[in-house]
Amino acid sequence: MSQNLFYRITLLTFYFLFLNSGVIYANIEKPIGEENKILLNIVGKERAYHELDENGLNYEGVGKNFEMGDSIRIGIYSRSIKAQTGKKIRNYGFTVEIDSGEPQKLKYEKPGDDVISADRPGWNYTEAGVWYVYMPVKKQGYIIKVKPLKGNPVVYLRLTSNDLIKEDKFTEGFLETVNRQDRWRIQTNEETDSGTVVTTLYWYPLKKNKQLQYEINGPATVRVFTRIEFNNGNPKDNYYVRIREDGYDLGTYYFDTEKSEKSSVSKTGKTVGKWRSLWLNIPKGKHYYTFTLPNIEDNSDKTVYIRLKKWQED
């Protein structure tokens, strides 16, 4: 599968997955320069979007307001405009470039929605196309450039950066897989005034053509911790993890990380990356969550360690 096709199909992670996963602090990112803004009335609330013209939209310092150490979620919400009596489906797309990386192409087919704007009476707007990506917090933030595809109708964008903050605590222990797969120990060495303190935690390795499956009873909130094993000698790496709920795709998640100077696999001595995480909101009842490595570039040849913790609400 090509990387462009991957982004088009599987990185459209569902917004509802995160609505109840904790207190979500959203930062609305504004493009630089004088860009055309429109206020859309969405379920009785006005949301600011910016027009994606032929020159594109450029953002600087995205996510710089959050604390260092964990991932942030960057979201791009897009809608096209349509006549009330026109075509039912609108096709549009654009490319997204983060910090001069390879542009990723996103394409959408969206029906009309009950979204209107006082700025353009008599017109409707489509359902939102949603794209999420997880990145580590950077002190200066990220530079994001969005360019329209040729032949696009008028498209409007809204870009956010989110940090998930929980105010309670985790339950004791971590969640185990249904088939009790082998667990590997990862140790972290912390230097203190009194000497070296070694902390060891159990993680499940996720490898090519393998899967991890969990049975989780809801309603519940679960945090998924991930970290990659470093084999390429580079100080930084990225990886993807696909998650399914009861056999249905929740999404494929992208993580960018750097090599840890403190943590390694106890059995092999191999260095791992700094952990990155996401949250899952578990609906009421018994559900099964399956984790795999999608076959994107060399991603399936990597080893990613997984650890799940259930959040305890007071």
Question: What are the strands, taking DSSP E only, across the chain?
Answer: 23-29, 37-42, 45-51, 57-62, 71-83, 89-98, 104-115, 123-126, 129-136, 142-148, 155-165, 169-170, 184-192, 195-206, 212-228, 236-245, 248-265, 271-273, 276-292, 304-312
Strand partners, 208: none
* pLDDT reported for residue 85: 74
Of 208, 231, 249, 220, give the one whose Cα is nearest residue 308: 220
Element holding 8 (H helix, E strand): helix 3-9
Which DSSP state fits 182?
A: -
Each of the 314 residues of the chain gets a pLDDT tens digit; together they read: 444 434 333 343 333 333 333 434 578 999 999 999 999 999 889 999 999 999 999 999 999 888 766 667 888 999 999 887 766 889 999 999 999 888 888 889 999 888 999 988 888 999 998 887 777 788 899 999 999 999 999 999 999 998 755 555 666 678 999 987 899 999 999 888 888 899 999 999 999 989 999 999 988 889 899 999 998 788 999 999 999 999 888 778 888 899 999 999 999 999 999 998 888 888 889 999 999 998 887 898 999 999 999 986 55
Where exactly are the structural domains of the chain?
A: 23-165, 169-312
For the domain bounded by 169-312, which CATH number is listed? 2.60.120
Strand partners, 280: 222
Q: What is the DSSP string of 66-83?
A: SPTTSEEEEEEEEEEEEE
Q: Are 293 and 299 in contact (CB under 8 A)?
A: yes
* pLDDT reported for residue 20: 36
Strand partners, 80: 155
Q: What angle do CA 106, 211, 3 make, to 5 degrees?
A: 20
Distance, in Å, from the CA atom of 23 to the CA atom of 313, rounded to the nearest integer, reads: 12
* pLDDT reported for residue 6: 41
Residue recorded with tokens 């087919």:
109
Residue 20 backbone phi and psi in degrees, to 5? -110, 20
* pLDDT reported for residue 166: 54
The letter for the amino acid at 190 is E
Residue 233 backbone phi and psi in degrees, to 5? 80, -5
Q: 0.85 cut: is pTM over it?
A: no
> Does CATH place domain 23-165 in 2.60.120.260?
yes
